[in-house]
Amino acid sequence: MRERTVFALTVLTLILLGAGYWAGANINLMPVEASTRAVLVDQLFRAVFGTATVIFLIVEGALVYAVLRFQRRPDDQSDAVPVHGHAALEVVWTLIPTVLATVIGVYSFQVLAKIETPGANPMVVEVTARQFSWEFYYPELDLTSAELHLPVNQPIRFQIGSEDVIHSFWVPAFRAKRDATPGQISELSIQPSEIGRYPVRCAELCGPGHAGMVTEVIVETNLDFETWVQSQLAIPTDPIEAGRFLLTRYGCLACHTLTDAGATGVVGPVLDGIGERAGTRVAGLDAEGYIRESILRPSALVVPGFQDGLMPPNFGQRISQQELDILVNYLLGQ
């Protein structure tokens, strides 16, 4: 009878452990896998999570068994039998964690080595973080955008930096994150594998507009990517569309509210009606001059109630005179 009980418990334990490992290794807790990097990271995660589930069941099962099996009986007033140790048991519970930690460590290193190895002929994208927007520059195309477009199955090498404070470039669907540090360039290699639109977030608290420092990466076919590139290289001829286009390109809409452009930012002043208000802000400075100076020297004309230093001071070096004129004329009409 005792042998049957032990056999039944052994079978039940193996079944539970097998089910626990299967559940731990197959429960999907992660976003969509949108890069080759994400596939490898998720495989590692599921293996570790499955192993942790089995360990949890073993430990908790042993705890429950010990509580039920060795609890004091109502009529038992005797002292417990002292246990001075069990050398074999101590060796086993020392070796098993050691082996598990070693296996997981080696596996993790192999995954890290694979995901950090750049692909062949990568496309370089320079990522610049600033309070509170992202800017993406494609040096091979001489193209700047506030939206990240990538061709599917194309190896990418990001070169990530910051113009002000520490930010963190994070694409959850790629399982990729790198800090953007002032005065330092960090590199990140990925290869997008699934067409779609995926969020880009700042994972480092960087100031009052941190929550709004969002954009998205658009993974598309090579043909769609080329079409987008061509659309970005030419500024629209319509002045209103050109104004919206440049505000989007330079990340202005992340911080300002402007109904005409569909922007709802709260870090900077509201731009609705700026054409009417601008001429009344500073004595001797008309509306056009005020808007122009606000773009080129934002610290000189800080609107009361807003913090100085949040708007990038280098627009004079980043935008051309033609683009500046387009922006000023567009905002005058708002």
In sequence order, what are the beta bridge partners of 177?
A: 170
Looking at the structure, tell me whether residues 294 and 205 fall in a common domain: no
Q: Identify the CATH number of the domain in which residue 281 sits.
A: 1.10.760.10
List of the chain residues with pLDDT < 70: 1-9, 12, 16-17, 20, 24-25
Among the candidates 232, 265, 282, a domain finishes at 232
Looking at the structure, tell me whether residues 140 and 169 fall in a common domain: yes
Give the pLDDT confidence score for residue 223 in this predicted structure.
94
Give the pLDDT confidence score for residue 206 in this predicted structure.
86
Determine, yes or no, domain membership for 35. yes
Give the pLDDT confidence score for residue 222 in this predicted structure.
92
Determine, yes or no, domain membership for 73. no
Give the pLDDT confidence score for residue 175 in this predicted structure.
93
Looking at the structure, tell me whether residues 7 and 53 fall in a common domain: yes
Single-letter residue type at 200: V
Token pair listed for 296: 């080129």
Question: pTM value?
Answer: 0.71
Q: Indicate the pairing of strand 214-220 with strand 148-151.
A: parallel
Determine, yes or no, domain membership for 51. yes
DSSP result, 54-88:
HHHHHHHHHHHHHHHHSPPPTT--SPPPP----HH
Give the pLDDT confidence score for residue 127 in this predicted structure.
94
Total structural domains in the chain?
3
Domain coverage including residue 50: 2-68+87-115
In sequence order, what are the beta bridge partners of 35?
A: 192
Which of 168, 170, 192, 197 is closest to 181 using CA atoms?
Answer: 168
Give the pLDDT confidence score for residue 3 in this predicted structure.
66
Give the pLDDT confidence score for residue 242 in this predicted structure.
84
| Maximum pairwise Cα distance, the chain | 102
Task: Report the distance separating Cα 152 and Cα 191, nearest Å.
Answer: 8
Give the pLDDT confidence score for residue 9 in this predicted structure.
65
Determine, yes or no, domain membership for 319. yes
Phi-psi region of 117 (alpha: psi -120 to 50; beta: other; left: phi over 0): beta
Residues in CB range of 170: below 8 A, 6 or more apart = 176, 177, 200, 201, 202, 203
Give the pLDDT confidence score for residue 6 in this predicted structure.
61
